[in-house]
Chain A
């Protein structure tokens, strides 16, 4: 990423409870489309929002603690690394966390 010249930046995406437990929601951040997931244990993950297979909406996928399954053709991606377990190209993974005010904080660039 740093090769493209994008500087590392963090973004506050607003309250974490915009994302229901066990689901994902998409955000447009700095021109990038990011799907943020909230696992049932309360932790959060973030991946690029567009499936590399045929452009499926990743935030609409079904998740467990490890993976998200794209709703269009069921390719699966590891929520932490973005690597596909079904042979698709990987999704970019982002660092994401929840701050003291219960806001989602996402980092772009310089990952």
Chain B
């Protein structure tokens, strides 16, 4: 509302515009360089000096072209890569002609002629037309009508990417050929692999990424690329695209044809200079500019980005154009007329097809006296090569491990003296660690190459109030390109904030839909006597709005807090908790009956066998938690399966206490010192099914040989000499591996049960939603946990024990719901393939 009113006010009629005494700045090309140049101009007070008009051939605002590879691979949605959405132009008073080409410039009359028939006068002009894919000459690239053959793609724009994805998704399309094994070709290949297509890369050079690295690095990269299931043909040229009116294959020189449904041409780029040539501007390989980014011999025309040639160089990466945009803006606005662009040293740090690649300077030794240090470990995809001349680093290639890149880039840029022991260039030899590295890093050192963000920029953002990692990333865009620098960005922010890194407020919310952290949320729930998820939304969510992503976390929290006082609304549960089974990729469920401590009986095994037979269970599997998993059960069969099993639920589906793994214990084991099996069964009987912020997996081992893997469990118990028991908490051995911390050593199984329950209750009350103990324990600290749980330093032990007891008492086996479904159609299939009664047409 207000914005409309404001706009009406600032432009009551046409007169406001005609009174505009500002000069006219026109920018041709609305890509990464054009938009960045305008941003730099605005940052230097350009809005007061200029009325700004931009022409962009693409019908969008400016987006991060680098991220197109992520869009193709599906890691990023195309809506998320916009750097300057259309509203940005409006907010900054910029007239954008999106989807309009500039065709010609009249340098004398100072007019731009565009494809929509418009004539636009300028005082200052900036050309930022970028490049386009180069389609090398080969037969069959075009249809007789002159258009590119359907199935052939370049990889440059959002529209290219969308079309490629659409084509790749087509059911009958199985194989793609990518022409070109450089950065772009490999990214296209990796992206297409994610659609399940077979992909071959045909590269005319002798090895992959030949512009960035030598043959040895190329060989290691090739292994990493092949490991992604991508075929690589080097030293091979495509001579023809086959197929009459759509692609059916390619012909290669000296090799058999390859059948394929699509061809991506990534064989280099060519600057977009037609407009400049037509308008009589100096063009060699690209538009020739001087150190001020002014087109040679022109007073009012500048050019920037991939379309320019500066001191003989044409760049194809973004880092140089950030530097160019700054110099250009300084001249256009007059902010610093002494600014000069002297060229960029191309130290590149990229992530290509998931592989980290950094390269700078020479690829290999050139003089007899050059030192060459090489480390190659192809099985891990790691390759490092460094060239040293006169004790200065003159070149480096790093593949698969970029930890030393920040240091090396700096050594290269500034010719720093090198360590005597050259190995120190490649590896941290217990000498200055990463943190020291950040502090020592030059202020001007570029942290994020993709978006041209230096250490200084990040530090300024932190001082300016963005003391959280994501805040500083939003403010500077660091880390928002290929993402390979995120770790370094984090380190720099931490260093700049001097330990005072703030958490994002939203990061502390217990669930995304309610702006409260866990303690405050629990306090509000208690104070207001809220007892159901819908009541919590109504009372505490902004606008009382429900939020699907918050429901499950709230349901778990309320159940934990209120035990049998909780009003259970089924819709707040995740499907697994509605039907007490774990949903599988095909929409069927897995059923895991309880088997306390991994101990079973003849009767149980017989029943399980009978059920598996009766329901034709496709897969019967022993789980890591020492139970038996029946996989592939349709939802509608669940109640009958439970009835036939007549065993309680094993809770293999919930965010809850899951299992206690045990070893055989002292009755049978020669080494056993404590009765681990008995204790495990008792623990499971006591805590079965209690809900928690994330799943809890426990173990009890009868001796320090630790056969039940107690050291890597959420709570792990180990019997030690003298009838004593050690309790470890916060261990993990899944995607994350962590050895648990010793909470206490106690004398009896009874004490184990008390402390286990007290720890779990403390965790339930204080952990964030989905925060496993391996994150929770180090966050709050084992000393703190020992003080609260073992020594009762806060005097809350009795309270924790009582709360846990209430949860234990309110336990009901969920599989008893079979007789009387709680909601209509609770177990009705959601993938009605044939099962449902067909509804007649009225």
Asked if A44 CB lies within 8 Å of chain B CBs, one says no
Q: Please, which residues of chain A bring their CB within 8 A of the CB of B572?
A: 22
A50 touches B574 (CB 8 A): no
A10 touches B842 (CB 8 A): yes
**Shortest CB–CB separation between residue B839 and chain A, in angstroms?**
5
Asked if B546 CB lies within 8 Å of chain A CBs, one says yes
A72 touches B839 (CB 8 A): no
Contact with A along B540-555 (1 / 0, CB 8 A): 0000011111011000
Chain B contact-residue range equals: 35 or more
Chain B residue nearest in CB terms to A50: B831
Asked if B623 CB lies within 8 Å of chain A CBs, one says no
Q: Contact partner of B839 among A12, A23, A58, A68, CB < 8 A?
A: A12
Contact with B along A54-79 (1 / 0, CB 8 A): 11111111111101110110001000
B825 touches A55 (CB 8 A): no
With A26-B831, A86-B77 as known contacts, state yes or no: A18 contacts B824, CB within 8 Å.
yes
Complex-state Cα separation, A110 to B576, whole angstroms:
36
Q: Contact partner of B569 among A22, A67, A72, A76, CB < 8 A?
A: A22
Complex-state Cα separation, A54 to B694, whole angstroms:
25
Complex-state Cα separation, A108 to B831, whole angstroms:
18
Selected interface stretch from B39-47, B264-272, B450-458, B581-589: B581-589
Q: Contact partner of B832 among A12, A28, A56, A67, CB < 8 A?
A: A28
Complex-state Cα separation, A10 to B841, whole angstroms:
7
Asked if A33 CB lies within 8 Å of chain B CBs, one says yes
Asked if A46 CB lies within 8 Å of chain B CBs, one says no
Q: Please, which residues of chain B bring their CB within 8 A of the CB of A58?
A: 830
With A20-B823, A24-B830, A55-B587 as known contacts, state yes or no: A13 contacts B839, CB within 8 Å.
yes
Complex-state Cα separation, A63 to B585, whole angstroms:
20
Complex-state Cα separation, A67 to B546, whole angstroms:
10
A71 touches B548 (CB 8 A): no
Asked if A96 CB lies within 8 Å of chain B CBs, one says no
Complex-state Cα separation, A42 to B552, whole angstroms:
21
Q: Which of A1-36 contact B (CB under 8 A)?
A: 9-14, 17-30, 33, 35
B77 touches A87 (CB 8 A): yes
With A18-B824, A71-B575 as known contacts, state yes or no: A28 contacts B534, CB within 8 Å.
no
Q: Contact partner of B574 among A65, A67, A71, CB < 8 A?
A: A71
Complex-state Cα separation, A18 to B76, whole angstroms:
38
Asked if A47 CB lies within 8 Å of chain B CBs, one says no
With A54-B585, A68-B548, A87-B77 as known contacts, state yes or no: A20 contacts B570, CB within 8 Å.
yes
Q: Please, which residues of chain B bring their CB within 8 A of the CB of A33?
A: 831-832
B571 touches A26 (CB 8 A): no
With A26-B832, A54-B585 as known contacts, state yes or no: A65 contacts B570, CB within 8 Å.
no
Q: Please, which residues of chain A bring their CB within 8 A of the CB of B80?
A: 87
Q: Which of B555-599 contact A (CB under 8 A)?
A: 569-572, 574-576, 578, 583, 585-587
Q: Please, which residues of chain A bring their CB within 8 A of the CB of B840?
A: 11
Q: Contact partner of B548 among A25, A26, A28, A69, CB < 8 A?
A: A69
B77 touches A40 (CB 8 A): no
**Shortest CB–CB separation between residue A49 and chain B, in angstroms?**
7
B551 touches A62 (CB 8 A): yes
Q: Contact partner of A49 among B585, B586, B830, B837, CB < 8 A?
A: B830
With A12-B842, A21-B571, A27-B836 as known contacts, state yes or no: A64 contacts B825, CB within 8 Å.
no
Complex-state Cα separation, A69 to B823, whole angstroms:
20
Q: Contact partner of A62 among B74, B79, B574, B830, CB < 8 A?
A: B574
Chain A residue nearest in CB terms to B74: A87
**Shortest CB–CB separation between residue A54 and chain B, in angstroms?**
7
Contact with A along B799-842 (1 / 0, CB 8 A): 00000000000000000000000011100111110001111111
**Shortest CB–CB separation between residue A33 and chain B, in angstroms?**
5
B575 touches A27 (CB 8 A): no
With A55-B587, A57-B587 as known contacts, state yes or no: A11 contacts B547, CB within 8 Å.
no
Chain B residue nearest in CB terms to A24: B830
Q: Please, which residues of chain A bring their CB within 8 A of the CB of B576?
A: 71
A28 touches B838 (CB 8 A): yes
Complex-state Cα separation, A40 to B538, whole angstroms:
12
Complex-state Cα separation, A86 to B78, whole angstroms:
10
B836 touches A26 (CB 8 A): yes
With A64-B547, A72-B583 as known contacts, state yes or no: A25 contacts B825, CB within 8 Å.
yes
Q: Please, which residues of chain B bring their CB within 8 A of the CB of A10?
A: 842
Chain B residue nearest in CB terms to A88: B77
- Give A residues with C-beta under 8 Å from B: 9-14, 17-30, 33, 35, 40, 49-50, 54-65, 67-69, 71-72, 76, 86-87
* Contacts beyond the supplied A25-B825, A55-B586, A65-B546: 11 A-B pairs with Cβ under 8 Å: A17-B824, A20-B571, A20-B825, A21-B571, A23-B571, A40-B546, A57-B587, A63-B548, A69-B548, A72-B583, A87-B78
> A-B pairs with the 3 shortest C-beta distances?
A22-B571, A87-B77, A57-B830
15 contacts between A and B (CB under 8 A): A9-B842, A19-B825, A22-B569, A26-B829, A49-B831, A55-B831, A57-B575, A57-B583, A57-B831, A60-B575, A60-B583, A63-B548, A64-B551, A71-B574, A87-B79
